[in-house]
Structure 1
Amino acid sequence: MSSVQPVFSQTALQAGVTEGLVSARIHIGIDGKVNQVDVIKSKPLKYFDKDVITAASQWRYAPISSPQTTIIEFVLKQNN
């Protein structure tokens, strides 16, 4: 598997947000590519959704025999 980590949102930085949590449902095709990413929950609301979707859409898994869905939690913290 290869993964790309979400970039910390500039909008969040400008708003003084220093950390966030996003839970996402990731749909994986038989070729190991992510077909779809759905945000289930995010705190604070909406600040990191786009960044998580962009990053998780680039993930790659080993090929599988049937499509699968998994839920991943992303913890985002501002780099000091």
Structure 2
Amino acid sequence: MWCSQEGRDTLTDLVDHMIPVQDRPDLIHDFKNLWALCTYHHGRKFSLEVYARDNGLLHRLPTWCKDRDSRPQQFK
């Protein structure tokens, strides 16, 4: 999905939980919490998760995943 947001067409390597299972195990089977990512962007998403967790902003992850412009500047 991030590739698409950047105007690139890339095959999906992974299905990721927008809000990590370690933080919200109750969302493990919630399809609204899943999205497709390439390996590169999965690494970037992990950095975004760490930032969100460290700053008490995990609730913002679904918005940040769907809307590139809403992300903190360093993750756009």
TM-score normalised by structure 1 residue count: 0.31
Compare relative contact order (CA 8 Å, sep 6+) and give the higher one, 1 or 2: 1
More strand by share: 1
Q: Which has the larger radius of gyration?
A: 1
TM-score, normalising length from structure 2?
Answer: 0.32
| Structure (1/2) with the larger helix percentage | 2
